[in-house]
Structure 1
Amino acid sequence: MNWETLIDEESLALLLPAEYSHFALPIKESLAVFLSRLPQSVQDRLVEEQLALPVDATLSERLGRLAHSCPVLQKLGQILARDQRIAQELRSELAKLESMPSTVPLHSIESILMQELGPLESKSIELLPPAIAEASVAVIIPFREKNKPQQPEGVFKILKPGIVQRLQLELDILTEVGSHLDSRLHDLGIPPLDYQDTFNQVRDKLRCELRLDEEQLHLARAARFFADQIDIAIPELFEHCTPRVTAMERLFGEKVTDHNFTLTTEKQNLAELVARAMIVQPILCKDEQALFHCDPHAGNLFSTNDGRLGILDWSLAGFLGAREREALVQVMLAAICLRPEKIATTLLSLDIRGQCDQALLKECVAIWLRRMREGHMPGLSWLTGLLDEAVKTARLSLSSDLLMFRKSLLTLLGVLSEIGANGFDLDQIVMCEFLRITVMEWPGRWLSSPNSRSFATRLSNLDIAETVLSSPLIAGRYWQAMWQDSIERYAVCANSR
């Protein structure tokens, strides 16, 4: 099968944001390489599914069908489903991947549970079919324990038959896709990002999807992480867990994007709750390692019937270290103080491969400081934009956890937009929480070392003192930079004449 004939480059470009339309060819080639490396029997089945679609099926429908049948593509589709920059017709198809009806026969589910747990009757376990959902690697079916009437209804999360071999195969193919892109950088006109190494990082992270025992550890840790927040619900772990089966509490509700709120304040409150739990909490955490959810698509975020935010599926979780969070805060402080050298030096401390082009990094920092002077205030969106640009143009290489947090943030921004909270400002939420926690930290600062950053804000007393003392210089730096910008604009206009 020549998969490139199925994917029309011009039609694909129309589905992408205008500024990324030139990536249609690399995406087309990547899909073709990925699909062509699958076993022939799998390719034959995919072709049959494509032929079964109507002759006039759109490219979005065909891509959605492909993603439904390939676990790795399904995971990618879930990430992109809420990205407001891509065409609505494609987002509508990809949103179907967030929670799908199960295709796994009941007898297969019962067989797996029998192998893992033994006879269900002997444990007083009663399945409550049908299965309520199917994810990229697992199927979810409700159950109850007849000898524990006080225990709430639970669900079994079970790895799908044959999924271990299939996902491992597709993840290995990702390496080949990365190698192909690396070899075609010039022809495709894409940034030199070392795609094979980046895809290898993603591959290693996605392998965690197959380790349900790891997810059980993440669930327990998430329960502790959110223990003091009564408006957050993490499914409680039950007995009968194994590396292939997780038994946990069933949360009743609906996807946060499917809510029936009519009042703007209700939508705003839900959006703030999602932002606080999924973004602010990991950033402003006092723990040395801050837990965050790596797969926060709408299917994993529930507005529960009792008014809480239910956070499901902890198979993919990451950890932001104290050093990384300190560096991000230092970049923000240096931006506020207009200190480009410190921004560049701090970003270099995050470079894990040591291949960052320092000259290009300084140019990147200068561009983003200029944007700040043009009205793009330094906040989370400014910071992530700077990081994205540094990765793309200066080859700054970030840790896999930091990359996954950036991916999670992108997904969450789309979810927050679709919750329907008009005028929602994520930067404002983050800043308000930052200031609130800074005030709460103040009494403890009297007894801390001047250099200690063992606070949730990752600010030392010395950081605060230096910022305050340098404030008179900031205005001078600002006006000097504005004057230089004016000279550069005048020179450009003069040359254009």
Structure 2
Amino acid sequence: MVQWNLIIDEDALASVLPDEYAKLARPVAGALAVFLEGLADERQNAILAAQAALPAEVDISGRLAVLAKSCPVLHKLGQILARDPVLAPELREELQQLESLPPTVAHGTITNTLNRELGSLPQLGIELVEPAIAEASVAVVVGYTQAVEDTTRRGVLKLLKPGIEERLAEELELAARVGEYLDHRCEELGIPSLDYKETFDQVRDKLQWEVRLDREQQNLLTAGRIYAGEPRVHIPSLHEYCTPRVTAMEWLSGAKLTDHDHEDKNTRRSLAALAVETLLAKPMFSQDSDTLFHCDPHAGNLLHTDQGRLGILDWSLVGYLTEKERVALVQVVLAAAMLNASEVVRALDVVATSVGDRDKLQAVAERWIQKVGRGSLPGLNWMVGMLDQAYQEAGLRLGPDLLLFRKTLHTLDGVLHDLGIDDDRLDSVLLQHFLRQFIAEWPQRWIALPHWRGFATRLSNFDLARCLMETPHAAARLWLSQINDRLSAFQQSAAPATK
């Protein structure tokens, strides 16, 4: 058996993390060792051989990227982290290659699989286009043409890679083992005492859908209905040749959103705004009780089509925001705008599955309220920062869909960064969309019951009245906060210098 704990270099891992996260190198190294040691011997040997085949000068970033290609779960994790500005640029650059890999599955294997799943391709009039278009963590995508009446139809076939169901099942079971490892060694590893296994279990349950292509087909149909009235958005339509292991769909011609050559900054800003409105604002301000959102909006799944539209691919991993969750998120933002930390905690109580330490949660909320008092916009970026800290320090636990929504936000924020758009753009677009919705629903408010929150903004008339009444208190809290900051600054400047 390979002794992975002796091979993984903690110092090298720490080198691709910022200073404030360098202490996580040890638990990350330990978790990787537990995960890899649980794999079947032949898989461990293949991974080790791939690492040994790399030139000696390949750094930790390149080695991690090669490792991620060997395991579907690590591959998906690498895609999630690829746009995270917290990581070193060289690591992000390596991980971004995981978003769309050159195909490694042999064309003969693809043909045999499709003949078995769909029937004889020649009899169906389907001709595959070589080579395959791309390969992802669990599937490979190949183009095809088919004579339909007097025209030639172009499409793509997405099929599961050979043996992927078994490999993914093995790795997802190991994820639970990693959670148990972290739970039992919190003090030894110097990490907060949290229920890591529960979090890994939640993510595992969602990732199981990655190999259910019939579920993705339903998601595509749902997304098609949701965005049917959006002329700037293109969701691929399904073709008739679909099975639980193969999805046939429309061909979208274009370039990755981040690869398209946009010399005009206004064009880039327009595309960024469209992506935020489509992938975040649309589900956030939907009037449906449960609203679907795309959980994997990395650059490989976002196209700027030849028709100038935003094409959204890969709907295998989706989440749903409930009306209760969206109401709570709006209440958090509202309470933050009123500089009321206690109301922030009360709103989080509505959606939290558990809270480890309520006093610490209050302290975290108060620290982030201070940021608002100093000029930070209490938008989604602010909220995610607060939730991350509450997770680490107060043991705040959220449901799996809210965890995935946080991941969606981080991933999309990274895409905007690669488009050359500043970090505040995401919240700015969401605020503009919110204001448009608020203005549009104003006439209906005259006849709505005080506590009714059926509006797209999820704000009741009572919420608005309460804000008006609390405005003087918020102004007083802001004034006291500024006085306290000035006193603290004065005391620090007046303190005698120490040698």
- Normalising by the residue count of structure 1, what TM-score does the alignment of the two structures yield? 0.96
Q: What is the CA–CA distance in structure 2 between the aligned matches of 1:343 and 1:257, rounded to whole Å? A: 36
Q: What is the CA–CA distance in structure 1 between the aligned matches of 2:475 and 2:355, rounded to whole Å? A: 35
Q: Residue 114 of structure 1: CA displacement?
A: 1.8
Q: What is the CA–CA distance in structure 1 between the aligned matches of 2:397 and 2:137, rounded to whole Å? A: 28
Q: 1:348, 1:396 within 8 Å by CA — same for their partners in 2?
A: no
Q: 1:465 to 1:150 in 2, by over 3 A?
A: farther
Greater shift in the superposed pair: 132-141 or 185-194: 185-194
Partner of 2:386: 386
Q: What is the CA–CA distance in structure 2 between the aligned matches of 1:485 and 1:145, rounded to whole Å? A: 69
Deviations 1:84-121 (A, max 9, x none): 22112111111111101111112211222122212222
User: What secondary structure sits across from 1:16 in the alignment?
Assistant: coil
User: What secondary structure sits across from 1:132 in the alignment?
Assistant: strand
Q: Does 1:186 align with 2:187?
A: yes
Q: What is the CA–CA distance in structure 2 between the aligned matches of 1:150 and 1:461, rounded to whole Å? A: 56
Q: 2:340, 2:474 within 8 Å by CA — same for their partners in 1?
A: no
Deviations 1:47-80 (A, max 9, x none): 1111111122211111111111111111111111
Q: Residue 171 of structure 1: CA displacement?
A: 0.7
**Counterparts of residues 233-382 of structure 1 (less than 5 Å):** 233-352=234-353, 354-382=354-382
Q: 1:188 to 1:495 in 2, by over 3 A?
A: farther
**Counterparts of residues 25-424 of structure 1 (less than 5 Å):** 25-150=26-151, 152-352=153-353, 354-421=354-421
Q: 1:322 to 1:423 in 2, by over 3 A?
A: closer
Q: CA RMSD in A?
A: 1.8
Q: Which amino acid aligns with 1:436?
A: R
Q: 1:68 to 1:382 in 2, by over 3 A?
A: same
Q: Residue 32 of structure 1: CA displacement?
A: 1.0
Deviations 1:146-177 (A, max 9, x none): 23454741111101110000001011100111
Q: What runs of 5+ residues in structure 2 fail to find an aligned partner? A: none
Q: What is the CA–CA distance in structure 2 between the aligned matches of 1:251 and 1:494, rounded to whole Å? A: 65
Deviations 1:428-487 (A, max 9, x none): 111111111100111122222111101110001111122123323321232234345556
Task: Spell out structure 1 runs of 4+ moving beyond 6 A.
Answer: 488-497
Q: 1:296, 1:408 within 8 Å by CA — same for their partners in 2?
A: yes
Q: Which amino acid aligns with 1:110?
A: T
Q: What is the CA–CA distance in structure 1 between the aligned matches of 2:423 and 2:476, rounded to whole Å? A: 33
Greater shift in the superposed pair: 402-411 or 279-288: 279-288
Q: What runs of 5+ residues in structure 1 fail to find an aligned partner? A: none
Q: What is the CA–CA distance in structure 1 between the aligned matches of 2:497 and 2:209, rounded to whole Å? A: 55
Q: 1:46 to 1:305 in 2, by over 3 A?
A: same
Partner of 1:475: 475
Partner of 2:13: 12
Q: What is the CA–CA distance in structure 2 between the aligned matches of 1:117 and 1:165, rounded to whole Å? A: 22
Deviations 1:376-431 (A, max 9, x none): 23122111111111111111110100000101111111111001235762111111
User: What secondary structure sits across from 2:113 in the alignment?
Assistant: helix
Partner of 1:440: 440
Deviations 1:175-214 (A, max 9, x none): 1111111111001111222111100111110001011011
Q: Which amino acid aligns with 1:463?
A: D
Q: What is the CA–CA distance in structure 2 between the aligned matches of 1:132 and 1:408, rounded to whole Å? A: 25
Q: 2:147, 2:153 within 8 Å by CA — same for their partners in 1?
A: no
Q: Which amino acid aligns with 2:268?
A: K
Q: What is the CA–CA distance in structure 2 between the aligned matches of 1:413 and 1:53, rounded to whole Å? A: 32
Q: 1:233, 1:311 within 8 Å by CA — same for their partners in 2?
A: yes
